[in-house]
Amino acid sequence: MKPPPPAPLATDTGAAAEPVSPGASTSVQGLTVRFRGTLALDGVSLTLSTGVIGLLGPNGAGKTTLLRILATALVPDRGELRILGRNPLVPTERQEIRRRLGYLPQTPGFHRQFTAFEFVDYIAILKEHTERAARHEEVRRVLAAVGLSEERGKKMKSLSGGMRQRVTLAAALIGEPELLILDEPTVGLDPEQRLRFRDLIAEFASDRTVLLSTHQTEDVTALCHRVVVLEAGRVRCDETPEGLCEIARGRVWFGEDRDPSAIAGWRTRARTYRNIGTPPPGAELAEPTLEDAYLLLNSTPDGAAE
């Protein structure tokens, strides 16, 4: 099978894969953040729209920094920022954003002596859910959504890591936020729980925006209508998952051994090698996955369109 001509790699154009919908109200333009001389974000521009948007990138690419800015935890050095139609640099508007925002940090922490219910209830209070009966109803709802109704009376310190992760996810879901920002939320979840998570987020995102930072490309494939790849503080690619996969079309092939010319290669269950890069003539091409495309993107210099 002759490989088709490889698609050019996307570069930081600042353009979303989908046209900006009139209702989309979260956007960043030219975001720049520097930590002690290190450029964490370098002119990032994005517009978030309804649905699940995956955020991929290697460690240190700036994903968490971007999420923290969108979660109003961090102020950028430069750039324009609108979150849910408001300016987070204005204190009153920032509070309004926080009322409508759900954020699950990478390492959220937990209060050891709280029960799962108490912890989520505590977060709900901090999100200004003041009416007690309604708040407790909401807490029960989100705990049920993450499958922890039975464990709600258990102390956080006695829960497994995966259960704690689900509790914190439940806390992020309090109040059905218009914008949900999740930083590696599936870490520690077993396969069954990951499926449940996908169901939950897919349903949640039907009329809301979810920004999902993860290293799990399967989650992105399953959930996201759009993928943003960050690299070294810049948007390397902003595509649909299918579009991103197309980048790798014609660049993935099977071989008896790891091809020395391949950018990446690994042994598969069928004892053949799956290689990514520029295939040799006559190579047996494989159907590309999002992971292939992501690896290819990460291994190729920015702008190295072939």
Partner 1 sequence: MTVAEQVRPTALPLTMASAAVRALAWCEARRLLRHPAVLVSLALCLTVWAYPTASGLTEYPVLHEEDQVLQLELLLPAAGVLLASHMAVVRAAREGTAAWLATLVLTPAQRVAAHLLALLPVVALVATLAGIRFCWLALLPGAVSSPSAAELATGPALVLITGALGVLIGTVTRSIAAGPITLVVLGLVTIAEALFGYMASPWRRLDLIDSDFGSGDSLPAELMDRPAELHLLYLLLLTIAFGALALLRSGHRGRVVSGTAVLALVGVIATGAAQLRPLPESVSAARKRAEEAPAALHTCVRKGVVTYCAFPEFIDRHRQWSQITDGIVRRVPDSARPEPITVRQRLAPITTPGPGVVVEARPNRWAEDDRRAGTPGAVSVGTHWGNGSDAADDDVSGYATALARRIIEGPSEANGEAVCGGRGILTVWLAGQATKESESAIRSLLVRHYGMVIGFGGMLETTAVESPDVNLALKLLDRPADEVGEVVERHWDKLTHPATTSAQAARILDVPPPAAIDSTEKSIYSCPH
Comparison of 164 and 236: residue with beta carbon closer to partner 1: 164
The DSSP secondary structure of 84-130, one letter per residue, reads TTB-TTSHHHHHHHHHTEEEE-SS----TTSBHHHHHHHHHHHTT--
Decide: 207 and 88 in contact? Cβ < 8 Å.
no
Does residue 74 belong to the site contacting partner 1 (CB under 8 A)?
Answer: yes
Q: Is 166 in the site for partner 1 (CB under 8 A)?
A: no
Q: Collapsing DSSP states into helix, strand and coil, what is residue 4?
A: coil
Q: 116-126 vs 161-173: helix axis angle to the nearest 10?
A: 30
Taking CB under 8 A as the rule, does residue 64 contact partner 1? no
Closer to partner 1 at the Cβ: 127 or 194? 127
232 binds partner 1 per the rule CB under 8 A: no
Q: Which is nearer to partner 1, 76 or 277 (CB)?
A: 76
Give the count of alpha carbons within 13 A of 48, CB side only: 30
Task: Answer yes or no whether residue 123 interacts with partner 1 by CB under 8 A.
Answer: yes
**Contact (CB, 8 A) for 135 and 124:** yes
Looking at the Cβ atoms of 100 and 198, the one nearer to partner 1 is 100
We find the least distance from the C-beta atom of residue 33 to partner 1, in angstroms, to be 4
Q: Give the residue with the Cβ less far from partner 1, 9 or 101.
A: 101
The reply to whether 94 sits near partner 1 by the rule CB under 8 A is: yes
- Residues 83, 86, 87, 89: is their CA dihedral positive or negative? negative
CB of 133 to partner 1, least distance (A): 12
Rounded Cα–Cα distance for residues 59 and 83 (Å) = 25
Which residues here bind partner 1, judged by CB under 8 A?
Answer: 32-36, 40, 65, 71-78, 88, 91-92, 94-95, 98-99, 101, 103, 105, 107-113, 121-123, 125-132, 135
